[in-house]
Amino acid sequence: MNDQLTSSTTTIIGKLESWYETFMAYLPNLAVASLVLLISYFTSRLVYNSVLKLINNRIEQKSVTRLVARVCSILVVLLGLFLALSAMNLSKSLNGLLAGAGISGLVIGLALQGTLSNTFSGIVLSFRKTIKIGNWISTSGYEGEVKDIKLNYLVLREADNNIVVLPNKTILENPFKNFSLTNLWRVTLDCGVGYESDLEHVKHLAREVITAHFDQEELDKEFEFYYTSFGSSSIDFICRFWIRGKDGRARLKAKSQAMIELKKAFDQHDINIPFPIRTLQFENEKNLELVHRPALEGAEV
């Protein structure tokens, strides 16, 4: 029994010594491999920034420049990985890795089908001229400025400064509205005036006020004014005019300014902008008493 225990202990000690000797033998190679990986990481970041500066002025779309820079950065990291494996004398492992790349690629492709779909969608979006970084778009219930188009997702910043991350596949497969494809925006303003108002005068005044602050002739556009309905307390109308803008905030600013100027003009000309009023009329005091009696009886003192 003691002989067997001694033999097992000797075998374990021999194995540990063999592992230790192997580790010490490979320690310089491990240090070199670690250094290569570290250098490749920092080099990839340097390559990313250098490629961005090199092609930034040559390619109009920022998404394409970032895509090219990311691909170059990834290639540098992969090159460092293969050099590190070679430095550790893992040529057999490296050959096995390359040999099994086809089968493993198929398995990984099936497992990461959604991720790969978003990646290819990101590449397609990067080269599309209908959507660029800095554009103001609306899609899938979200509206905001495109901050970045990455390989897997698109970063959108809404007007309230919230960041929305959308999969590239969602952007590519669903309709989206790009407000930045044109710098001309049409603003629609809804309002109403009292029934006692001179409608021709209201129309003339609205046209005069809006065109004075937003020159439509310069934009080669026309101011539009239409009465839409006889409302419960006002005669409703809409006026539409054009502005130059790059995002939704320009439209909001223009609409706000138009409301301020229109209200000032209406006040100066004694034109009433009514608000809904509910009037209760009773035939006589008896009906008034019958109406209020249940409330009085049910009230607590």
For the chain, what are the domain ranges?
2-99, 128-180, 182-268
Per-residue model confidence (pLDDT) at position 238: 94
By CB atoms closer than 10 A (0-12, 13-18, 19+), residue 77 is: middle
For the chain, the first-to-last Cα distance in angstroms comes to 99
Buried b (16+ CB within 10 A) or exposed e, 110-127: eeeeeeebbbebbbebbe
Neighbours of 183 (CB within 10 A): 12
Buried b (16+ CB within 10 A) or exposed e, 248-266: bebbeebeeebeebbeebb
CB-CB contact of 182 with 244 (8 Å): no
- The phi and psi torsions of 203 (rounded to 5 degrees) equal -65, -45
By residue count, the chain amounts to 301
Q: Tokens 């006026």 appear where?
A: 239
CA–CA distance, 77 with 94 (Å, rounded to integer)? 16
Per-residue model confidence (pLDDT) at position 88: 67
Tens-level pLDDT at each residue, the chain (301 residues) = 555 656 667 767 766 666 666 656 666 777 777 888 888 888 888 888 887 777 776 666 666 777 778 788 888 888 887 777 776 666 555 555 555 555 555 555 555 566 777 777 877 887 787 888 888 888 888 988 898 888 788 999 988 889 999 988 888 888 888 888 878 888 999 999 999 999 999 999 999 999 999 988 888 889 999 999 998 889 999 999 999 887 777 888 999 999 999 999 999 999 999 877 666 666 655 554 544 444 434 334 3
Per-residue model confidence (pLDDT) at position 99: 56
Per-residue model confidence (pLDDT) at position 205: 95
Radius of gyration of the chain (CA): 36
Residue 58 C-beta-side C-alpha neighbours within 13 Å: 8
Per-residue model confidence (pLDDT) at position 282: 61
Architecture in CATH for domain 128-180: Roll (2.30)
Identify the CATH class of 182-268: alpha beta
- Structure tokens belonging to residue 150: 């990455």
CB-CB contact of 219 with 184 (8 Å): yes
CA–CA distance, 7 with 13 (Å, rounded to integer)? 10
Q: Which of 21, 40, 20, 43 is nearest to 32 (CA)?
A: 40
Per-residue model confidence (pLDDT) at position 27: 66
- Structure tokens belonging to residue 102: 């086809």
pTM for this predicted structure? 0.51
Q: Tokens 């570290």 appear where?
A: 38
Q: Which of 275, 257, 261 is nearest to 187 (CA)?
A: 257
- The phi and psi torsions of 58 (rounded to 5 degrees) equal -95, -25
CA–CA distance, 154 with 175 (Å, rounded to integer)? 15
- Structure tokens belonging to residue 246: 């790059």
